[in-house]
Amino acid sequence: MTFTSDPVRADPSGSDTQQDAATKPRVHSRGVLEYVAWAACALLALGVVHTLFANENYQWSIVTQYLTASTVLRGLVMTIVLTILSMTFGTLIALLLAVLRVSPLRPLRILAGAYITFFRGTPVLVQLIFWFNIAALYPHLAIGIPFTGLSHDINVNKLISATTAAVIGLSLNQAAYQAEIIRGGFASVDKGQIEAADSLGMSRMTKLRRVIIPQAMPTIVPATGNQFIGMFKETSLVSVLGVGELLQSVQLIYARTYQTIPLLIVACVWYLVMTIALSYPQAMIEKKFSRTRARVSNEPGLAPAQDGLMGGEAR
Amino acid sequence: MNGDGTVFARGLRKSYGDRVVLDSIDLDVACGEIVCLIGPSGSGKSTLLRCVDGLEEIDRGILRVNGEDLGFEETETAYRALGRKEIAAQRTRIGMVFQSFNLFPNMTARENVMSGPVLVRRTAKSEAASRADRLLTSVGLEGHGDHYPWQMSGGQQQRVAIARSLAMDPNVMLFDEPTSALDPERVGEVLAVMKGLAEQGMTMLVATHEMGFAREVADTVIFMDGGFIVEQGKPAEVLGQPKEARTQKFLEKVL
């Protein structure tokens, strides 16, 4: 045994069997509350599982029977297509709206603001029904130059099918929400960045494309992922227009067989599976961009000074 | 143009709402002159530089940079605002270095330096890239072209920012407290680059707390307080034998 001046180790009463004070592990005891919470949750879970199996009205055999029925799968594909189309068009319109929203021209700002107010201020379900019935308002759509007589007439009733009404309605509504997300992204870009761009004499478009949008992406992309997941479920609203998406397809079946609950479970299972499947890439994207965000933050104090980090990932 | 590299101001006034932040500012900066602006925080030195860069619009007075009225055109009855493009063109001839560097984080050091020539002047990329590498070498950052701002120290970032401004071949360079956000041991490398620039005959306006730099490099030192120019003159006079009581009090605290 070596002699040490450390007062802890040099404890005179310390014997060889006792552990060295410097290396003893630090433990926390779990509170009673945690055990109570575990017990309560276990009890609840048991109750849910019990009723799922004991209650025959769930009719699990029907659920499994229809889960992969061709009508249901076709509905699922339609739901996915609607989601992708609405998100694509919605995001494109949103980008335009967001740019108008920060325009130096006041009328354009007001226009974009009015659009966003209207589409966020009315229920999407009402908007969908409205687009479906737009032919009642404008039976003929003329494409041409106003007041010149040069135009081409289109029959709106033929043009707006249930599916187009659904895509238009969901896209236009999505655009209003997405525009606010993009605008928030623009606002998250440090003011100094814009001043630096101004100082170099960059034009508005260049500034937007090369400085603002690339730096706004870490804020915009994860929020858009959330919107995508939300849109996936929101498409169920278009069942009221008779579009053959997931909910509509199960509704068609139970209208015939009266097996309402099992078929709604079928729809729920698919919504849940898809949402969980989308949550994974969403979490990845969020993680990737939060790292980028930390990296792009230009705060002087945060910059690593070590030369060893150069050229490599600082993680 | 014969006004290149000069800054001229008479009765310049700037306010935010009711708060006057700059008043009765007269400036005469000759081509190649090094002017250091000193004074307590909130004295208006940063705002003055931002006005000279056109980032802030002045309320009243005359402000000519490179011999042209900045951002406006004088008519018989008023100053008429210039168009976006003309303002941008004026700005390309004024370089600004910020306290917080403001490098574009989505671009490498080389791309940052290239950004002005390529995105504003539409210079060919290969030409701009080789020029950028030469500029990076001139600020002591040879071989750092592919590094992103987050991979560099504050001093290195600030030197990239200086190179980015120089890439536009400005006639006047403005430095807004360029070393205030740096670790003390990194201040010297930035000041050395600025000193080199001063020796090449660049017109420079520097807001700074580095009294040593002001004493050594400046042709003129301006002491500002409360939005006014309190005292100006040769560094030895203003820093050595200040006439105004306010200047004396400030210098007692910082020296």
- The pLDDT-based confidence of A282 (bands split at 50, 70, 90) is confident
Residue A313 has pLDDT above 60, yes or no: no
Q: Which helix (H) or strand (E) holds A153?
A: strand A151-155
Q: Which of B65, B99, B102 is the mutation pick for testing A, counting most A CBs within 10 A?
A: B102
pLDDT at A137: 80
Indicate yes or no: CB of B151 within 8 angstroms of CB of A311: yes
Q: Which helix (H) or strand (E) holds A152?
A: strand A151-155
Q: Across residues A308-315, what is the average pLDDT?
A: 34
CA dist A267 and A264 (Å) reads 5
Question: Which chain B residues are within 8 Å of A211, Cβ to Cβ?
Answer: 104, 106
CA dist B68 and B171 (Å) reads 12
CA dist B89 and A110 (Å) reads 30
The angle subtended at Cα A27 by Cα A25 and Cα A30, nearest 5°, is 165
CA dist B171 and B177 (Å) reads 19
Residues 6+ apart with CB under 8 A from A14: A21
Indicate yes or no: CB of A300 within 8 angstroms of CB of B101: yes
Q: Across residues A235-250, what is the average pLDDT?
A: 92
In the chain, the amino acid numbered A48 is V
pLDDT at A134: 84
- The pLDDT-based confidence of B3 (bands split at 50, 70, 90) is confident
Residue A300 distance to chain B (closest CA, Å): 6
- Say if residues B220 and B232 touch (Cβ distance below 8 Å): yes
Residue A198 distance to chain B (closest CA, Å): 7
- Say if residues B58 and B25 touch (Cβ distance below 8 Å): no
Residue A303 has pLDDT above 90, yes or no: no
Indicate yes or no: CB of B115 within 8 angstroms of CB of A200: yes
| Residue B168, Cβ density class (10 Å: 0-12 exposed, 13-18 middle, ≥19 buried) | buried
Query: What is the residue-averaged pLDDT of chain B?
Result: 93
- B100 close contact with A: CB closer than 8 A: yes
- B116 close contact with A: CB closer than 8 A: yes
pLDDT tens-digit profile of B66-97? 999 999 999 999 999 998 889 999 999 999 99
pLDDT at A310: 35
Indicate yes or no: CB of A296 within 8 angstroms of CB of B106: yes
In this prediction the ipTM stands at 0.91
Residue of chain B minimizing CA distance to A196 = B102
pLDDT at A6: 54
Residue A148 has pLDDT above 60, yes or no: yes
Q: Across residues B8-36, what is the average pLDDT?
A: 94
- The label of the residue with tokens 């939300």 reads A230
Query: What is the residue-averaged pLDDT of chain A?
Result: 84
Q: What's the token pair of residue B127?
A: 């030409």
Q: Across residues A216-227, what is the average pLDDT?
A: 89
Question: Which chain A residues are within 8 Å of B152, Cβ to Cβ?
Answer: 303, 310
pLDDT tens-digit profile of B182-241? 988 889 999 999 999 999 999 999 999 999 999 999 999 999 999 999 999 999 999 999
Residue A97 has pLDDT above 70, yes or no: yes
**Residue pairs spanning A and B at CB distance below 8 A:** 111
Residue of chain A minimizing CA distance to B118 = A202
Residue A186 has pLDDT above 80, yes or no: yes
Q: What is the DSSP track for chain B? A: -TTTT-EEEEEEEEEETTEEEEEEEEEEE-TT-EEEEE-STTSSHHHHHHHHTTSS--SEEEEEETTEESSEEE-SS-EEEPPHHHHHHHHHTEEEE-TT----TTS-HHHHHHHIIIIIS---HHHHHHHHHHHHHHTT-TT-TT--GGGS-HHHHHHHHHHHHHTT--SEEEEESTTTTS-HHHHHHHHHHHHHHHHTT-EEEEE-S-HHHHHHH-SEEEEEETTEEEEEE-HIIIIIS--SHHHHHHHHHH-
Residue A306 has pLDDT above 60, yes or no: no
CA dist A263 and A58 (Å) reads 10
Q: What's the token pair of residue A60?
A: 């699990």
pLDDT at B1: 52
Residue of chain B minimizing CA distance to A207 = B119
CA dist B101 and B164 (Å) reads 10
Residue A21 has pLDDT above 90, yes or no: no
- B164 close contact with A: CB closer than 8 A: yes
pLDDT at A180: 94
- Say if residues B194 and B212 touch (Cβ distance below 8 Å): no
Q: Across residues A98-115, what is the average pLDDT?
A: 94
User: Which of B102, B144, B153 has the CB atom closest to A303's CB atom?
Assistant: B153
| Residue A248, Cβ density class (10 Å: 0-12 exposed, 13-18 middle, ≥19 buried) | buried
pLDDT tens-digit profile of B29-71? 999 999 999 999 989 999 999 999 999 999 999 999 999 999 9
